[in-house]
Amino acid sequence: MTRQRSVCTPAGIGSTGVGRAVAATAAVAVMATAALAAVAPPADQDRVEQQLRDFETNTGLVLTEIPETDGTYLAKKHRGYEVLFTTQMGDVWGRYFARIAMGEIGREVGGVLAFLTRSYEYGTGPAGSILDRLLARAIGQPLGIMVYLSHAKPGAPRLDIVSGSSTVKPEEELPKWERIGFGPGTVYSPNAQFARAVLDDKELTDRLKKLRGQYIAVDGELAAFIWSGQETDFSAMIRAHDDYYDMINSIIESLADIADHIPESR
């Protein structure tokens, strides 16, 4: 479960940094700080432990240790498959203060700069604005979610489901099939049977349509969900589900469905 498929990951994603005080980011911050629970102040330690209990209650995922690896991981067995879940955070505080500066400059200067930073009277603020996204390219995406499902089918053909807005791309493009939707993107695979089985599973594709900006990859070891992006996109993906935990459960269920569709090797 520790071996990961090689992908082109965005620069700047790391284990340091703390999240902004918004619900979506706070949920990721639990994972980012869980490894520090043993040395955290008692109040913080209690908070982290309670939120990890909430994770277990709502998703079945429990804290697990993986030797010789960095980060914090939650794991469980789902429909017979081993599942590993982890999150990462970039320099969120650095971007937060940069956003404050952008917003103030936009309000003072006005005009095009106000538009670029969404700082005009009815704007939503600099988070997710044009300049904010340019900033993300320079110092890294603030949030990342990874879910790995071990399917134990070593002969599995390759399959990718790549969103057009994904910040993580495969190293090579496989034969293209059909687009599931604007959010989840397009199915790529050299195996027609596998691609067709995924595309014809309406329950699966309906669930995938709630996603945006993700990269789903299947190889001979894993079915992996990789998402890296901004708080605004992360919150929008949560809103498409009932809540954060429902989103995680939905992703795991989708990976299991995809694994079920892996054709038998000959």
Return per-residue pLDDT of the chain as tens, 266 residues. Answer: 433 343 333 322 222 222 222 344 445 555 554 544 444 556 567 777 888 888 899 999 998 877 666 667 888 999 999 999 888 766 554 544 455 454 545 544 545 444 444 444 445 555 555 555 555 555 566 678 889 999 989 889 999 999 998 888 887 889 999 999 989 999 999 999 999 999 999 999 999 999 999 999 999 889 999 888 877 788 889 889 988 899 999 999 999 999 999 998 76
Would you say residue 7 lies in a domain? no
- Give the domain-ending residue among 136, 159, 194: 136
Residues 41 and 86 in one domain: yes
Alpha helices in 168-228 (DSSP H): 192-200, 202-208
Residues 68 and 158 in one domain: yes
Would you say residue 36 lies in a domain? yes
Strand-pairing partners, residue 187, are 161
Number of folded domains in the chain?
2
Would you say residue 1 lies in a domain? no
Residues 44 and 110 in one domain: no
* Nearest one of 98, 72, 97, 95 to 85, comparing CA atoms: 72
Residues 39 and 168 in one domain: yes
Residues 105 and 192 in one domain: no
- Give the domain-ending residue among 79, 113, 136: 136
Would you say residue 9 lies in a domain? no
